Structure 1
Amino acid sequence: MAYSINRRPLLAGVSDSEFEDDLTEVDDPSIVIRDEKPLFKPHEPSDKYNMAIIIFYFLGMNTLIPWGFFVTADDYWMFKFRDIHVNNTGRHNYTHTENLERRNDLQASFTSYLSVASAIPNTLFLVVNTFISKKLSLRTRMVGSQTIVLALFILTTALVRVNTDEWQDLFFIITLSTVAAINASCAIFGGSFMGIAGRIGSGYITAMMGGQALGGIFTALAEIGSLWIGASPVLSGLVYFIIGDVMLFLSLVAYVILERGVFFKYHMLDRPGSESLIESDRLNHAGYNSQNTEYSGHRPDVISYSRIFMKTWHYGLSNALTFLITISIYPAITVLVDSQDKGKGYAWNDVYFVPVVGYLLFSVGDLCGRISAGILEWPKNRPWLVIFLSSVRILFIPAILFCNAQPRHHLPVYITEDIYYITILMGFAFTNGYLCNVVLILAPLVVNHEEIEVASSMMGAFLGFGLTIGSVVSLFMVKIL
């Protein structure tokens, strides 16, 4: 004998036809079926005083600040890897160095080496994060990764005051190893953070991505400030990295505050009726009701990585193309572009042009693009158009290569005017910011709610692939100049 069970909430309005749709035929009345629909719709807490979105901006800054501080500390690295003169006694002269404006091969290629050392572990651990997101607790991933980054950054700060002239090669290896470990940890942090933002909504995705651009602005301003005070490369580098240490520590504190808030806890619930992502997923996967130890008969949704991939690969490919094209030129080539009036004795042309144009203005254009993507969210439901727009950006590569990047041995310089270079760079930055944000906004819209975190992590993995390939290409770009 079959029984009809009404699965509709008690207080909802009904019509005859609607009521019939809510009846479930059960052959055995001894089977217990849990009612998945709540009696009352839970109240969604608000982001009081916009604290969560402010913290998202701040945490977004700190996903890129470690890499940004390494890249923009150009004068410090040029000093560390300068050619050392030898005096008549055969001993190194530590007080007199060559003119830092003439870069040796290591100095010219160092930014590209940084990109490779950053991108490869970043990509690997973005992929790893995709698969461990449902196995390792969110708190462990977020707090653990930030703690490792902070410890390694403190090590980098301590080495600033160490005289490394006699062991530059070892210092080079230590630096790249530190960069690799930092970026592996940042990948876990950034990938997990993308998953959090994807679950809360597009406004918080934009806050995270906008925060990354703000991180670029912050590091550029810190570099400009260290140059402005007129300190030596060592002293300015020390102040610079100490600022980074403070920012990373505040980031860790900010996340702990965010995690304890009601707004965060609400959005981290695997609704309906499952455990928080912060806690273990053991009960959910075992099929137990957290309020009743009796087996509920409910079969939890199984996350299918292949299904999520098929839904989102268009956006992932676009993300990879965007960052491949960007990192192949920025900052490896842009850091080499000199002002047309360099060498004429003007501080703007000789000292501030690269940090202001190459870093600060790029980050401003990147931020404008990310904010615009959060407002427009275009083009929806047209993933092939997003891929096309990402591909067209390849035209920026020859345009910037033909600007006044030095030293060069093969390609001619066709674009000498500073204003033309600045215009090209701003367009390059704006399109990067727009496209990288819009794919992160659109990808979660094509998957189910329980798949959002994995989908967002996959976007991070695609991003990492683009960074890795682009960083290798950047080495080639420097050589063909």
Structure 2
Amino acid sequence: MAHSVNTTPLLQEVDSSDNENDILENTDVVIRDNKPLFKSAEPKDKYYMAYLIFYLLGMVTLLPWNFFITADDYWLYKFRNISNNDTYSVSKRTPLQTCFTSYISVASAVPNLVFLVLNTALTHRISLHKRVIGSLIVMLGLFIMTLVFVTTNTDKWQDTFFIVTITTIVLLNVCSAVLSGSIFGVVGRFCPIYITATLGGQALGGIFAALAEIASLSIGASSVHSAFVYFLIGNLTILSSIICYVILTKSVFFKFHLYERTIAQNEFENELLRPRIIEHKMILKKIWTHGLSMFMVFAITLSVYPSVTVLVESEGKGQGRIWNDVYFVPTIAYLLFSVGDYLGRILAGRIQKPKKGYILLILSTARFVFIPLLMLCNAQPRSHWAVVFDHDYEYITILFLCALSNGYLANITAICAPRVVESHEKETASSMMTVFMGIGLALGSGISLYMVKLL
């Protein structure tokens, strides 16, 4: 059998116009591979430092929401009727006491959504470090100001204090949006366990806030003292996150994933360093099912949580038992939901199924069933819907399944979305997912105002 042999001398000049076809015919194999010949070894995350710091940063992204929404007793005290010292009577609440939780939801969701969108657009114009450090420093300053107001007598200027507080919440959620979009954008470059850590940190923040409230109730602390502890812890947490993030950015592990550049021979360097265009429309086309799934998860949840769930009373309320009268709402409405949400996110990080976007979308949409189920629980006062699930165990089961599915589907969509895009598109894709989440939060918060009126 005859074999073709390339007899062209290695150093001989060849006229490409005359001999192009001849060269192609005489070459056994032609290789065109844009992948580098060598790739640097991935460094280890020593002592799981990066993992723990992403957990902390995840907590901080929702810290304003968790701390402000949980300090319910403090807001009741600040906006009480000072003429007769009526602080906690539900039947005699002032307009500010009645509506403040709803105002928190709106003041949190709207700026959060706007700046999640802006953060996605500015991802490649403002450096990651400026966005993260800047938002954390401003957030710390606002929490320090809030801490000062805790010890300030605002009885004679409640309306002004209300405006200042709502403005503070808006600014805090602007910072939260920038921080969240930036963190979720960069964590998309890491393996899924770091996405799970960040999302788990968000859920853990809710658990932390709920435990703080329960602890303050158990020791009989006043509303002002409890709030002082809340916001002092918030300040210390933010300060710690700034220090930890700076430490993280100095680590080899973080730099490897953030500035990953493959090592190749000189002839590949120009190709590797060529600018890569980010096309938002193409990325959106790849992840739209995951994004819509994320949107449905949070829109459905925020429609009834915490606006409706916080109104659900124990079947034994008014019988003189401290569990039913004092601990039921903070333990079930806040702590149980946060625990279920946290477990769901952890399970999603371990199982990571299903992965197809359309299946996730179907499952997320199916969660709509939790809206009527929770509306039919013993939420008071009510004038339209009848109470169907009047036993505590029925409400607890429904709420826990709602929380578990919320955490699971939120995490699995966040994990799968970066996998369907190219490597250089991962950060933008993850930032887009936070935008879908923000839209869901905003819409759900708006709907919640009407769900309460429908009870």
What is residue 327 of structure 2 aligned with on the other side? 352
Distance 2:312 2:449 in 1: 16
CA contact (8 A) 2:76 2:87 kept: no
- The answer for the alignment partner of 2:399 in structure 1 is 425
- Counterparts of 1:81 and 1:441, CA distance in 2: 42
Equivalent residue number for residue 217 of structure 2: 227
Q: Which amino acid aligns with 1:355?
A: P
Checking the alignment, whether the CA contact within 8 Å between 1:114 and 1:176 is kept in structure 2 is yes
CA distance in 1, matches of 2:217, 2:348: 34
Name which of structure 1's ranges 165-174 and 388-397 shifts more when overlaid on structure 2: 165-174
Q: Distance in 2 between matches of 1:239 and 1:298?
A: 51
Amino acid paired to 2:339: V
- After superposition, the Cα gap between the structure-2 partners of 1:108 and 1:339, relative to the gap in structure 1 and judged at 3 Å, is farther
- Residue 341 of structure 1 aligns to a residue whose secondary structure is coil
Paired with 2:240 and 2:296, the residues of 1 have a C-alpha distance of 33
Separation of aligned partners in 1, 2:162 and 2:313: 25
> 1:21 aligns to what?
31
Tell me the equivalent position of 2:146.
156
- Structure number with the higher helix fraction is 2
* 2:377–2:388 Cα contact (<8 Å) kept: yes
1:257 and 2:255 matched = no
Partner of 2:123: 133
What per-residue deviation string (whole Å, max 9, x for no partner) do you get for residues 255-285 of structure 1?
A: 11111100000000153479xxxxxxxxxxx
Q: CA offsets, 1:241-264, max 9 Å, x none?
A: 111111111111111111110000
Equivalent residue letter for 2:258: M
- The aligned counterpart of 2:441 is 467
Q: Is the CA contact 2:184–2:430 (under 8 Å) kept in the aligned structure 1?
A: yes
Among 60, 74, 77, the alignment partner of 1:76 is 74
Report if the CA contact (8 A) 1:79-1:100 is conserved: no
Distance 1:40 1:413 in 2: 66
Taking structure 1 as reference, are residues 230 and 411 closer, same or farther at Cα in structure 2, changes over 3 Å only? same
Whether the 8 Å CA contact 2:77–2:87 is kept in 1: the answer is no
Distance in 1 between residues matched to 2:132 and 2:88, nearest whole Å: 44
Q: Is the 8 A contact 2:39 2:263 kept in 1?
A: no
Q: Which amino acid letter does the alignment assign opposite residue 97 of structure 1?
A: D
Partner of 2:179: 189
Query: What letter corresponds to residue 143 of structure 1 in structure 2?
Result: I
| Deviation at residue 335 of structure 1 after TM alignment | 1.4
Q: Partner of 1:377 in structure 2?
A: 352
SS in 2 for 1:171: helix
What SS class does the counterpart of residue 83 from structure 2 fall into? strand
Q: Which moved more, 1:438-447 or 1:54-63?
A: 54-63
Compute the RMSD of aligned alpha carbons.
2.3
Q: How far, CA to CA, are the matches of 2:153 and 2:365 in structure 1?
A: 45
Evaluate the alpha carbon distance shift between residue 310 and residue 237 of structure 1 in structure 2; reply closer, same or farther with a 3 A threshold. Answer: same
**Mapped pair 1:52 → 2:50:** yes
Q: Determine the C-alpha separation between the residues in 2 that align with 1:323 and 1:273.
A: 42
Match of 1:113 in 2: 103
Cα deviations by residue, 1:220-239 (Å, 9 ceiling, x for unpaired):
11111111121211111111
* Structure 1 residue 398 corresponds to structure 2 residue 408: no
**TM-score of the superposition, structure 2-length normalised?**
0.90
Give 1:211's match in structure 2, choosing from 201, 225, 232: 201
| Residues 297/232 of structure 1: CA separation in 2 closer, same or farther (3 Å cut) | closer
The C-alpha deviation readout for 1:380-411, integer Å capped at 9, x for no partner, is 2x211111111111111111112122222333
Return the alpha-carbon distance in structure 2 between the equivalents of residues 297 and 383 of structure 1.
31
Q: Secondary structure at the match of 1:208?
A: helix
* Conserved 8 A contact 1:113-1:475: no
Aligned to 1:245: 235
Q: Which residue of 1 is the match for residue 338 of structure 2?
A: 363
Distance in 1 of aligned mates of 2:54 and 2:327:
31
308, 333, 342: which is aligned to 1:333?
Answer: 308
State the secondary structure of the residue aligned to 1:133.
Answer: coil
Q: Which structure has greater strand proportion?
A: 1
Name the amino acid aligned to 2:233. I
With over 3 angstroms needed to count, the CA separation of the structure-2 counterparts of 1:221 and 1:298, relative to structure 1, is: closer
Q: Distance in 2 between matches of 1:443 and 1:203?
A: 14
Deviation at 1:434, TM superposition (A): 0.6
Q: Give the corresponding residue for 1:61.
A: 59
1:28 alignment partner in structure 2: none
Aligned to 1:388: 362
The amino acid of 1:50's aligned partner reads: Y
- 1:32 corresponds in structure 2 to none
Partners of 2:346 and 2:271 lie apart in 1 by: 45
Q: State whether residues 38 and 262 of structure 2, in contact with CA within 8 Å, keep that contact through their aligned partners in structure 1.
A: no
**Deviation at 1:464?**
0.4
Matched letter for residue 333 of structure 2: G
For residue 445 of structure 1, the aligned residue among 396, 399, 419 is 419
- Residue 188 of structure 2 aligns to a residue whose secondary structure is helix
- What are the Cα deviations for residues 48-76 of structure 1, in whole angstroms up to 9, with x where unaligned? 11111111111111111221000111111
Instruction: State the shift of 1:181 in Å.
Output: 0.6
Q: Give a deviation string over 1:115-134, Cα, whole Å, max 9, x none.
A: 11100000111111111111
The normalised TM-score by structure 1 is: 0.85
Distance change (3 Å), C-alpha of 1:165 and 1:22: same
Aligned partner of 1:92 in structure 2 is none
Partners of 1:189 and 1:315 in 2: how far apart?
21
Matching residue of 1:89: none
Give 1:410's match in structure 2, choosing from 374, 377, 384. 384
- 2:190 corresponds to 1:200: yes
Q: 2: CA distance between counterparts of 1:253 and 1:57?
A: 14
Distance in 2, Cα, partners of 1:80 & 1:200:
44
Unmatched runs of 5 consecutive residues or more in structure 2: 1-14, 20-26
| Equivalent residue letter for 2:42 | E
Match of 1:168 in 2: 158
Question: Which stretch of the first structure deviates more once superposed, 392-401 or 443-452?
Answer: 392-401
Aligned length: 431
SS at match of 2:382: coil
**Could you tell me how far apart the structure 2 residues matched to 1:384 and 1:477 are?**
28
The one-character-per-residue Cα deviations of 1:82-136 (angstroms, maximum 9, x if unpaired) are 22335xxxxxxxxx32543434443233222111110000011111111111111
Note the alpha carbon deviations across 1:178-202, whole angstroms, 9 max, x for none: 1111011111111110012110121
The SS at the match of 1:172 is: helix
Letter in 2 for 1:309: L
**Cross-structure match for 1:315:** 290
